[in-house]
Amino acid sequence: MSILIDKNTRLVVHGITGNEGLFHTTQMLAYGTQVVAGVTPGKGGEWVENKVPVFDSAKLAVEATGANTSIIFVPARFAADSIFEAADSGVKLIVCITEGVPVQDMIRVRAYLDQVNIRLVGPNCPGLLTPGESKVGIIPGNIAIPGNIGVVSRSGTLTYEVLYALKLKGMGVSTCVGIGGDPINGTNFIDALSMFEADPYTEKVILMGEIGGTDEEKAAEFISKHMTKPVVSFIAGQSAPPGKRMGHAGAIVEGGSGLAADKVKALESAGVKVAKHPEQIPDLLS
């Protein structure tokens, strides 16, 4: 069992003929993901890997193939329009890998998606991985094994490190959700925690946070009130200097808010075990 994606996920790739889209389409196909269509305006009728048809629009792709999920690999200046197109095509889940999407664009995107009740993961995220079933994004498929641990993270690289550390200990994952580190995104910690809490096959949860914003504090409040499953966490950027953005657009300490110490305190107050280093996480779960 998993959340968001599984072996029944039928994927359409926006920007499939670009360098990033083509490379990761090949990787997703090799993993076993059902990549059923691609979208590149002006290149309809072409084929990728001799098995994936390319369409001029997302609507045509969904109508022809029954796709239920979109992934966005287009450049940042086109990402919002691509998300809007995906939302209007009939899919129920959109994953946006693109980084550098303007905040004003994301304000419009989020407002629209909330109205039409379509789930967005990202932007600026590594996507989703349900080990052994489906990979929608850029998370390496060989670093995780199937299991009962749910993972939600703002940081891509740290996600990979934790997944591999779990695998080395023989510990498997139900689904890994990379929500991205931008100030405005489609899916937040609470959304993912709610889904893991409701998933009968997820027994434990890992939350990977970082400096900036108050999402981790909000997650801690949700955990204390609603989570019955144990949660283990790590907060990245504990040595980051105030006023300096670290990696993600949302990872900045401003005006005394967003400090790692405040996040750790809030999580520990909610009964969450907080690791000092990512490699400690498997031991805290046992």
Taking the chain (286 residues) in runs of 10, the rounded mean pLDDT of each run is 93 98 98 98 96 98 98 98 98 98 97 97 98 98 98 92 97 98 95 98 97 94 98 85 56 61 96 95 95
Give Cβ neighbours of residue 79 (< 8 Å, ≥ 6 apart).
72, 96, 98, 101, 105, 123
Which single residue is written with the structure tokens 């779990």?
166
User: Order of strands, edge to edge, in the sheet holding 34-39?
Assistant: 47-48, 52-55, 34-39, 10-14, 69-72, 93-96, 119-121
Number of other CB atoms surrounding residue 279 within 10 Å:
14
Q: Check: CB of residue 85 under 8 Å from CB of residue 70.
A: no
Task: Answer yes or no: are the C-beta atoms of 174 and 197 closer than 8 Å.
Answer: no
Fold equal for 10-121 and 139-285? yes
pLDDT for 3 equals 98
Per domain, the residue ranges of the chain are 10-121, 139-285
Q: What is the pLDDT of residue 237?
A: 78
Strands (E), the chain: 10-14, 34-39, 47-48, 52-55, 69-72, 93-96, 119-121, 127-130, 134-137, 146-153, 173-178, 204-210, 231-236, 273-274
Looking at 3.40.47.10, 3.40.50.720, 3.40.50.970, 3.40.50.2300, the CATH number of the domain 10-121 comes to 3.40.50.720
- What is d(CA 52, CA 23) in angstroms, rounded to the nearest whole number? 13
Measured in degrees and rounded to the nearest 5, phi and psi for residue 64 equal -80, -25
Residue 47 CB neighbour total at 10 angstroms? 10
Q: How many whole angstroms separate alpha carbon 187 and alpha carbon 106?
A: 12
Prior bond to 126 cis, omega within 30?
Answer: no
**What is the reported pTM?**
0.94
Q: Work out the burial of residue 88: count CB atoms within 10 Å of its CB; fewer than 13 is exposed, 13-18 middle, 19 or more buried.
A: middle
**What is the per-residue pLDDT for 240?**
61
CATH code: domain 139-285 is 3.40.50.261
How much is the pLDDT for 259?
86
Catalytic residue of the set 14, 24, 226, 248:
248
- The per-residue pLDDT for 243 is 56
Residue 249 is predicted with a pLDDT of 52
Neighbours of 157 (CB within 10 A): 12
Q: Is 226 a catalytic residue?
A: no
pLDDT score at 18? 97
Q: Give the largest CA-CA distance in the chain.
A: 57
Q: What is the CA radius of gyration of the chain?
A: 18
